[in-house]
Structure 1
Amino acid sequence: MLHPTYFPNVASFAAMVQNDVVWEAEDNFQKQTYRNRCYICTDKGKHMLNIPIKHVGGDEGRQKYADVEMDNSYPWKKQHWRTLETAYRTSPFFEFYEDEIRPLYEGTDTSLYEFNLKTIEVVGNCIGVELPAAKTEKFQMEPTELLDTRFLVEAKRKGKIPLEPYPQVFEERHGFIPDLSILDLLFNEGTNALAYLKNQSLHLSHA
């Protein structure tokens, strides 16, 4: 059981590639998670891309993740794409995949949940793997039939899953930076990304 997140980090994508996944669709939205943010590497180091959301006030302050809308009154899509271009233009595979990624930043999507699923689908198409579409139908605090890996949504979680280093654009300047978005792996490793994801030892049940 996984949360769909904004261009998920590499560990989450490895979990998707290596397992049959059911998407959590019945939980409440929580701040400071990968639900509406991802991390990339720019010339200045690790950098957060954050999707602004429309906040519900009053008694309805808590809302289901599946009901959250992105705040498109702010030109975040244009800003995110410009940042990605600047960060990865010199990477080995940016030009190879940019025509698949760019349209995500040109659409009029409003649902954060559905937009995140779309980012996952597009990356799946880029690396040549079909990802699951099954969703939960009720919220379970402690699932009995599924391995609960919803902790992967926590952006500030300690005890990260160790992954093998791979070449990064600004590695000479910053060293290898782990826990970045799948876009970092895609633009740097390209056609080798799927093999990399399949070969990571995740040990999710002990994470």
Structure 2
Amino acid sequence: MIDQDILLSTAYFPPVQYLSKFLAHQTIWMESAENFVKQTYRNRSIILAANGPEQIIVPVEKGRSQKQQIKDIRISYDTNWQHIHWQAIISAYQSSPFFEVLQDDFRPFFAKQHAFLLDFNQQILETVLAILELNPTIKQTVNFEEVPVDCLNYREAIHPKPQKALPDPFFKPKTYTQVFDDKFGFAPNLSCLDLLFNCGSESYAILLASISVRDSVSARSQE
């Protein structure tokens, strides 16, 4: 396990890199006081569809000020995005090995309206961690820019745009079989949905193998 705690932003069905941090670190700090940042994993996820990687984006309400703390960001329901997202997920993964097994765990997130993005993402994360049988220590920040002592700041490091993502010496994506890999080859670091629907109970092992053992002493299962 990596000795330092890690600070992460919230994320919508986060990518494999993000999820690997919950195996590699004992304590995860979740940022709740930052201003909302557009075009990030905070309100978007990337799945692998028949035409290639596809972003699914949760629309948010626009406040009086462009600078709103993430904990105050409300989800917009002006469009039926829940139906659109779920249909996109079905289209992408209905033929995957574990879709039938896991679909009931995720379907409720597209049936009930949640008010706040941070709370919505947190409930999704808790569901994903439960499927993986992970129980890390998760804490929420109170004030922005107060990074806990000996804590790695990954709030902006994990980014859907490769040119904006920062190098991560602790992550090396492990390949696994994907639904459309015969068309596109392996697409790394997609949403946790891609990992879970394709790998099921093997997802934990894939995450563990994605942690760079050269740079980390061990992972949680090796304690």
Pick which of 40-49 and 145-154 moved more.
145-154
The alignment partner of 2:198 has SS state of helix
Q: CA deviation at 1:178?
A: 1.2
1: CA distance, partners of 2:108 / 2:137 = 22
Tell me what 2:221 maps to.
none
Tell me what 2:151 maps to.
146
Tell me what 2:182 maps to.
172
Tell me what 2:4 maps to.
none
Tell me what 1:25 maps to.
32
The runs of at least 4 consecutive aligned structure 1 residues that moved more than 3 Å come to 141-145, 158-162
2: CA distance, partners of 1:97 / 1:142 = 36
Count of aligned residue pairs for this structure pair: 202
Once the two structures are superposed, residues 32-83 of structure 1 have per-residue CA deviations (whole angstroms, 9 ceiling, x without a partner) of 11000000001110000001110113xx221001110110121111110011
Say whether residues 1:47 and 2:54 are aligned partners. Answer: yes
Structure 2 counterpart of 1:103, which letter? P
Say whether residues 1:75 and 2:80 are aligned partners. Answer: yes
Tell me what 1:132 maps to.
137
Structure 1 counterpart of 2:199, which letter? E
Tell me what 2:18 maps to.
12
User: Where is the strand percentage greater, Structure 1 or Structure 2?
Assistant: 2
Aligned-residue identity in percent:
31
Tell me what 1:112 maps to.
117
Structure 1 counterpart of 2:76, which letter? D
Give me the TM-score of the superposition, normalised by structure 2: 0.85
Q: CA RMSD in A?
A: 1.7
Structure 2: unaligned runs, 5 residues or longer? 1-6, 217-223
Structure 2 counterpart of 1:56, which letter? G
Once the two structures are superposed, residues 66-108 of structure 1 have per-residue CA deviations (whole angstroms, 9 ceiling, x without a partner) of 1101101211111100110110000000111001110111112
2: CA distance, partners of 1:125 / 1:82 = 24
Say whether residues 1:181 and 2:187 are aligned partners. Answer: no
